[in-house]
Amino acid sequence: MTPAPVLMGVVNVTPDSFSDGGRHLDPQAAIEHGLGLVDEGASMLDIGGESTRPGASPVDEADELARVLPVIRGLRARTDAILSIDTMKPAVAHAALSEGASVWNDVTALGPAPESLEVAARHSGATLILMHMQGTPATMQDAPAYRNVTQDVAGFFTARFVALRRAGITLDRVVIDPGIGFGKTTAHNLALLRNLPMLAALGRPVLVGASRKGFITRVDGTGAGPDGRLGGSIAVALHAARAGAAMLRVHDVAATRQALQLMAALESEGADA
């Protein structure tokens, strides 16, 4: 039986996230939200202070630090869950990793910022999540195009592996994320999800973050907002788990955990009475 994927709960400390619209911008609200996700079954929390939704504007480094550091400190004092910092900025990653986070989740795959590889190398005990994104959050959905999306994404990761090795970073620290919804059409997203085993064949754990994303209601035609995408989010989570995803980044931890437990029970052998 395939091992159950790690559940990463989403803690957005932003005023403009697509999924929760600033509900947890207050640090104490974010801390309590994170603790609730741990109670629901998350073993990792992903804390972000800058929205990366399509069309999002950049956030000043000082503002991002002011948002995330109190939350990381507060959670570190109250839970043993793994804490991840979701940031594109190496200075924010350095501060967060120094305050108790042990994972850096970077939607730019340690690419554009020149100090990123240096910071990643310095924090040698940190796990690094490299995500694929075509363009930037402000432009990524303008006209995404690929020759073959799965092959292109796999080639991107292969190139990033070379850059990491040159910087003295061992690949046993790396998790890869195909970046569902980040510079992809609905067809691209579905192709990547169908072909997750091809990405897993690169030899690194795969994270899937499709929770509440817009392609779900482009498939079902309802046009529902983020709160109306639970069914599709669960469907993708179950598919990804069957396809070998090692981690799932989700908003609805309890429902995802329950679905995974029922799938495991249904697929277990020798359970018939």
Query: Per the residue annotation, which of 53, 67, 213, 257 is the catalytic one?
Result: 213
Provide φ and ψ at 238, rounded to 5°.
Answer: -65, -45
Transcribe 22-43 into DSSP letters: TTT-SHHHHHHHHHHHHHHT-S
Look at residue 17 and give its three-state secondary structure: coil
Q: The sheet that has 82-86: what strands, in order across it?
A: 174-177, 127-131, 103-106, 82-86, 44-48, 6-12, 247-250, 207-208
Residue with tokens 């120094």: 98
Known catalytic membership, residue 147: no
Known catalytic membership, residue 249: yes
Which of these, 38, 47, 40, lies nearest to 11 by C-alpha position?
47
- Give Cβ neighbours of residue 199 (< 8 Å, ≥ 6 apart): 150, 153, 154, 157, 176, 178, 192, 206
What amino acid positions are annotated as catalytic residues? 213, 249
